[in-house]
Copies of this chain bind each other. A is one copy, B any other.
Amino acid sequence: MESSSAPSGGSTRREATRQKLYEAAVTLIAEQGFSATTVDEIAERAGVAKGTVYYNFASKSVLFEELLRHGVGLLTASLREAAEQTARDGGSKVDALDAMIRAGLVFIDRYPSFTQLYVAELWRTNRAWQSTLMVVRQQAVAVVEGVLREGVDKGEFSEEIDVPLTAAALVGMVLVAALDWKSFQPERSLDDVHAALSRLLQGRVSGRG
């Protein structure tokens, strides 16, 4: 075979091509949707022949599915890291949630197209990649749920909170606020957006500031 040779980790020619295809596909699909995006477009934007797409991926759907897995993997790792870091620093569970909100914002700031595409596809039914999507979604949400549950156990959060639903609501809060930020007020700083969401999380909306 070949491989080996390349000293740095996983930097084969093939891997580089796949990466280019991911990047091309993510922006195009975020803009236009999966069906409206052609494989020719993806290949062209990646600077690659159409055949190369099919050499690297079994089909358009498979390319998309792997893109999805790859992206949500990054997000999940980032959320987990934020939670663990807070724990290491002896922070409370609210601090952990806050850190995860920030991690979410950083992620969306860095990969806005991916986020957009994810939201657009998440609740669709009857699609080939539906099951893949549910799995990766659950991995990400589970991190939030974990922190909430630990908070309940520690007595920091009310026992009456509905963990899965609250987790979903928190994720939605960050997701929609961030997408609106990127779409309609892109000039604002991440700190600014984070502060606003932090306030909402901690119930410091009611009452004067």
Contacts and interface: CB of A to CB of B under 8 A. Distances in A.
B94 A206 contact: yes
Number of copies of chain A assembled together: 2
Interface residues of A, number: 61
Contacts of A16: none
Interface string A106-150: 000000000010011111111100000000000000000000000
- DSSP class of A's interface residues: helix, strand, loop or mixed? helix
Contact of A31 (B36, B126, B158, B199): B126
Interface in A182-201: 183-185, 192-193, 195-197, 199-201
Contacts of A31: 124-126
A182 to B, nearest CB: 8
7 contacts: A33-B35, A33-B120, A158-B206, A159-B209, A162-B192, A169-B173, A173-B173
A187 to B, nearest CB: 13
